[in-house]
Structure 1
Amino acid sequence: MALSTNEIKDLEQHAWQARQDIIDITGWSGGAHIGGGLSVTDILVIMYFKYLNVDPKNPQWEDRDRFIMSKGHAGVAYAPVLARKGYFNFDDLQTFNKFKSPFGMHLDCLKVKGVDVSTGSLGHGLSIAVGLALGARLQKKDWYTYCVLGDGECNEGSVWEAAMSASHFKLNNLVTFVDRNRLMIDGKTEDVMGLEPFADKWKAFGFIVKEVDGHDFNQLAEAIDFAKAEKSGPVVIIANTAKGKGVDFMENEVKWHYGGLDTDLRAQAKASVDKMYGKA
């Protein structure tokens, strides 16, 4: 079902706020994985403010949907979305990645409310998601498991082992996203370890593939609705994104996989985000 005009406006406001928050947290912490945080922002926003069946007042609610941020280094984006959803106070993130802070670069599920699984060692998220989806089936529960992978992470063989399992068990309660920004820490994904033909690989492993613009809320919503309605097996949503989305001097620049922002760069980055959302 297409999103209403008001839903789009609401999601865009959340996305604008999330990108501003990512910039602030990167400044406070001295450095973060800002490029991939900005590319995955819109996926996080539509999941937490439209689709996920969760209760911030009861983070351990047994019947909640499970969400796994397999690309755990994007905690700089994940944490502020959780805060704005109401799991904890946003101002607490001023300690992000500092000594004794509960908010490490990769969020710890034992320390951060709302985080279902600690991730960061890339390649394991989908395996855990498969286990959760199987667990829900065995318990006859109707909650969904959602997993967000980075495309560089798809170099890992464990991703494809998990994909085989998801297909074999026809896990229609599992929805997988790939943040396909085509850049990783060492350069272009296709130079480091070619993934193409990427969609065909997922199809060969038994997945139904939806390929979308990962910054278009209508396309994301259509793909998520399709995935939830599909009963024959697992769906992967390949979300084509831009690393550093919203900050003009970061977009599609591999050097912003990780970086810090001084006062001037922070102001410049925030102004660029304002411009993208027509707030300048």
Structure 2
Amino acid sequence: MSTREKVGWGIGGLLIVVYCLFPVAWIISLSFKSSDDISNGQFLPTVFSGANYEQILVGDAAGLFLPALVNSFGICIIATFISCLLSMFAAYAIARLDFPGKKLILSTALAVAIFPVISIVTPLFNLWRQIGLYNTWPGLIIPYLSLTLPISIWTLSAFFREIPWEMEQAAQVDGATPWQAFRKVIVPLAAPGVFTTAIIAFFLAWNDFVYGISLTSTEAARPVPAALGLFSGASQFESPNGPIAAAAVIVTIPVVLLVLLFQRRIVAGLTNGAVKG
């Protein structure tokens, strides 16, 4: 590329980065503003204050935020683990085995993925109350599987198709059982795809709001997105923008850490099978 083209691409990339990161920077700045400083219209706070973080960690909002944070971690990790485990077996069967209805399974998974969540919340709410799953961890883990399993099956089936069939056959020729060949040969080779799928599934569960606000009523199982919607100000005339921004920053930190820690595996997983040969 010529110098002009390099400069143009650089400016374009910089504009995209600024456009994407500006809301994040605004929330971080908002989290350090006092209640009197929020509506002044300035980007940076006049005086940096940690009162918002103190309020959600040790103050009045700690009883609402901290249990919700624990719930989100526990529920999302369990849902992600179950989703990856089930999707590995389903994706392996779809990629390796020839059986009637294989395309129907993928089509059904895609239909479930795009089905509007809001349309099933009311019947699910009534069913959960009748069978005792309302306001419990299993009552959120099961619906979260409907969010994470379809995309997990689609993603992992593409990775399993790229693994040479001959490697599994060679392991079986050496005396390995089908289960041993799957566990010791296929799964390690599909590790980048499994990591990518797990992180995507975790994000889907972590960011859910509709199930969290509809299927919980107390701190026993309420996740963070639902808890943020219940924050209140010091009075009915005060909006809790500062504490919500501080909580949003804290909730975003695990996501950023996951991406930074596993970015190589994510890139390897997303680019696996992009070229042939």
Q: TM-score range by the shorter chain?
A: under 0.3
TM-score by length of 1: 0.22
Greater CA radius of gyration, 1 or 2? 2
Higher strand residue share = 1
TM-score by length of 2: 0.22
